[in-house]
Chains A and B, each alone.
Chain A
Amino acid sequence: MNKKLVNAVGVTMLAGAFLLVSHASATEEYDVKAFGPKNPIVWDKPVKVVFEHRVHTDNAGLECSSCHGDIFAMQRGVAIQTSQLTMASLAEGQFCGVCHDGDTAFASDTNCSACHIVPDDPIVWIKPAKAVVFYHKIHTDEYGLDCDSCHNDAFAMKKGLAENSDNFTMKALYNGHYCGKCHDGETAFASNTLCNTCHIGVKGYNRMMGGVPHADKKSGH
């Protein structure tokens, strides 16, 4: 009985190792001509987006000409320079939206994290009060939220929109806007409690930015 188990495990492991090796050899033989560039394309503007050629060619079976020519130019950076590469234009069926329309491939207003990277760095708001931090990772990884849990209902996708609004206040939060949509005391801790979970103050901000905590550092402490 025991021997059988050991044998079974041994065989499985051997098979696994063989598979790994064969997989490794397959990557070595990656055909750039057939599958396009090996490394993913990373757009920084307007926000960080990752595109993998291989997912579309090797996995989905598209040809280079499926996209290149009409939808995307062959040269690097052309799409960005048009300033048209936005979610709005995708929804109108341009760029990725040609296929990502819900029929050919998943719609561009779903499955955000397939292309969008959840930022590692916190968002640090300095208006109206310095300073408030927000970590995407904690909300997605630890609390399992999706992008559309907040976007575009509580927060628009556009960077800086909330911060530059006159309404981005604790009062608005208490009325269920912005963070207050969940931070109401039921879904998540109420926004009039645990202030310093998000508020890091000027000192916390300066530390985060690596600056000097105070203008008068020398004798301040």
Chain B
Amino acid sequence: MANNSLANIFAETQDTRLATPGMNRATIFSLLAIVAGLSCGVASFIFGHEAIYNNTREVPWGMLISTYAFWAITSTGLCIYAAISHLFGGTRMAIVSNRMVWMSIVCILAAFATIGVEIASPHRMIIYNILSPNPTSNIWWMGTLYGLAVGCMIVEFFGIITGLARIAVILGTMGAVAEILANSCLGGVFATLPARPYWYGGQLPIYFLTAAFLSGAAATILFNHLAYKIRKEKMSEAVRLGIKSAGKAMTLVLVLYTVATFWRLIMYYVGGAELGRIAAGALISGPLSINFWVFEIAVGLIVPLLLVIFSRLENIGMMAFAGLLILIGQFVARYDLVVAGLIVPESLGWDNVPTYLDYVPSIFEFGVIIGSISVVCFGFLMGERVFGKIFEQKEHH
């Protein structure tokens, strides 16, 4: 009986137009890439984290943490836009909000997958996060709130596919609140460490939230564009208007984020701790300068802004490309933020330490990153295939 009703639900939500060999191949390919990425992560448990990942005593975090932050921030952004649409109904983005809820879940799962293999003993985390919680720990709150958020969103999504609009709205709101708080605590993880002047300070949580709004809008445009691309169909006018709204939001936040980035870096050069200034120098003219100027600034901010202006918010393809560039820029920005904070040695001036410590991600770390991207690809494809129909529905209330 239960199976039957479940089958009925899927019968109503699945999009049979996507039951094509090409889709199947893409899905299987992304599944294989997940397995490969997972193997890289599992290798760390077999051979030891210190042997598999290029992290050291001085640089304990690297690309895995930054990628976790990237997906978590993107998830927050998607979730917030979806919740605003669901809650206030009237926004034009409401029409694509179901897809955003799904992609928000997918992104947070990609984040969990990444940090799951980054943490040395996740089994201890499951036990002692519950048995021995530390209320002063930002990372405890972050993990707990993201866990809560994904729980809320899964129930919300269940409400969406079963047509229980009330549940969907309530849980969606709770999920979004949890996501915002979790995102804030993620910023807090870095912002509350006086030992790392590059991270320390009240700006970072706001910066992360701004990044969430930016990545969320970019991901909304990109994934919706792709959804119609794989169906080889044209967007309906209502969806177009929704995407244009997302484009407006993206443009606005792009400017805000640029301003925040500018002031954030200027701050280090007017005084304050030496280590912070040296870390900023890593971006401006040091080992991360190509990442910063080419990927963060040019690819991630300037080119997308120009593309959005040229598209006049009409050319969805161009805007989707801008969204992709923003996501790439954001990915690199998170990497630079994490790495710059750590590669400045605390023992500067002693032991002849170099101004910047070496950190280059290992091949296994790259493997995990490819795996996490594949989680998002797989999630996207499966979502379109299994729940495609409700992604095109009007608001569910």
In angstroms, Cα B352 to Cα A220, docked, is: 11
| A202 shortest CB reach to chain B, Å | 12
B234 interface contact, C-beta 8 A: no
**Most chain-B Cβ atoms within 10 A of its Cβ — which of A203, A218, A219, A220?**
A219
In angstroms, Cα B60 to Cα A219, docked, is: 11
Which residues on B sit within 8 Å (CB–CB) of A203?
351
Which residues on B sit within 8 Å (CB–CB) of A158?
none
B353 interface contact, C-beta 8 A: yes
B123 interface contact, C-beta 8 A: no
B25 interface contact, C-beta 8 A: no
Q: Which residue of B lies closest to A216 (CB)?
A: B57
Residues 198-221 of A at the B interface (beta carbon under 8 Å): 203, 218-221
Which residues on A sit within 8 Å (CB–CB) of B357?
221
In angstroms, Cα B354 to Cα A219, docked, is: 13
Q: Which residue of A lies closest to B345 (CB)?
A: A221
| B65 shortest CB reach to chain A, Å | 17
Which residues on A sit within 8 Å (CB–CB) of B345?
221
Q: Which residue of A lies closest to B54 (CB)?
A: A219
Which residues on A sit within 8 Å (CB–CB) of B354?
221
Which residues on B sit within 8 Å (CB–CB) of A218?
56
Residues 348-395 of B at the A interface (beta carbon under 8 Å): 351-354, 357
In angstroms, Cα B351 to Cα A11, docked, is: 60
Interface of A is mostly: helix
Out of B57, B351, B352, which one reaches A219, CB within 8 Å? B57
Residues 99-154 of A at the B interface (beta carbon under 8 Å): none
In angstroms, Cα B343 to Cα A219, docked, is: 12
Q: Which residue of B lies closest to A207 (CB)?
A: B352
B274 interface contact, C-beta 8 A: no
| A200 shortest CB reach to chain B, Å | 14
Which residues on B sit within 8 Å (CB–CB) of A221?
58, 345, 351-354, 357
In angstroms, Cα B351 to Cα A203, docked, is: 9
**Most chain-B Cβ atoms within 10 A of its Cβ — which of A203, A218, A220, A221?**
A221
Binary contact readout B56-78 vs A (1 if CB under 8 angstroms, 0 otherwise): 11100000000000000000000
Q: Which residue of A lies closest to B57 (CB)?
A: A219
In angstroms, Cα B351 to Cα A218, docked, is: 14
| A76 shortest CB reach to chain B, Å | 47
Q: Which residue of B lies closest to A219 (CB)?
A: B56
In angstroms, Cα B347 to Cα A220, docked, is: 11
| A34 shortest CB reach to chain B, Å | 58
| B350 shortest CB reach to chain A, Å | 9
In angstroms, Cα B119 to Cα A73, docked, is: 77
Q: Which residue of A lies closest to B352 (CB)?
A: A221
| A201 shortest CB reach to chain B, Å | 11
| A119 shortest CB reach to chain B, Å | 28
Q: Which residue of B lies closest to A221 (CB)?
A: B353
Q: Which residue of A lies closest to B50 (CB)?
A: A219
In angstroms, Cα B54 to Cα A218, docked, is: 11
Which residues on A sit within 8 Å (CB–CB) of B57?
219-220
In angstroms, Cα B345 to Cα A135, docked, is: 35
| A196 shortest CB reach to chain B, Å | 14
| B50 shortest CB reach to chain A, Å | 8
Q: Which residue of A lies closest to B55 (CB)?
A: A219
In angstroms, Cα B56 to Cα A142, docked, is: 46
Binary contact readout B26-69 vs A (1 if CB under 8 angstroms, 0 otherwise): 00000000000000000000000000000011100000000000
Q: Which residue of A lies closest to B59 (CB)?
A: A219
In angstroms, Cα B347 to Cα A219, docked, is: 13
In angstroms, Cα B352 to Cα A190, docked, is: 29
Residues 43-82 of A at the B interface (beta carbon under 8 Å): none
Which residues on A sit within 8 Å (CB–CB) of B352?
221
| A95 shortest CB reach to chain B, Å | 50
| B91 shortest CB reach to chain A, Å | 51
Q: Which residue of B lies closest to A213 (CB)?
A: B351
| A19 shortest CB reach to chain B, Å | 52
In angstroms, Cα B350 to Cα A203, docked, is: 12
Which residues on B sit within 8 Å (CB–CB) of A219?
56-58
In angstroms, Cα B353 to Cα A107, docked, is: 55
Q: Can you list 13 residue pairs at the A/B interface with Cβ under 8 Å?
A: A203-B351, A218-B56, A219-B56, A219-B57, A219-B58, A220-B57, A221-B58, A221-B345, A221-B351, A221-B352, A221-B353, A221-B354, A221-B357
Going nearest first, the 9 A-B pairs with the smallest beta carbon separation are: A219-B56, A221-B353, A219-B57, A221-B351, A219-B58, A221-B345, A221-B352, A218-B56, A221-B357
A218-B56, A221-B357 given; name 9 further pairs at CB < 8 Å.
A203-B351, A219-B56, A219-B57, A220-B57, A221-B58, A221-B345, A221-B351, A221-B352, A221-B354
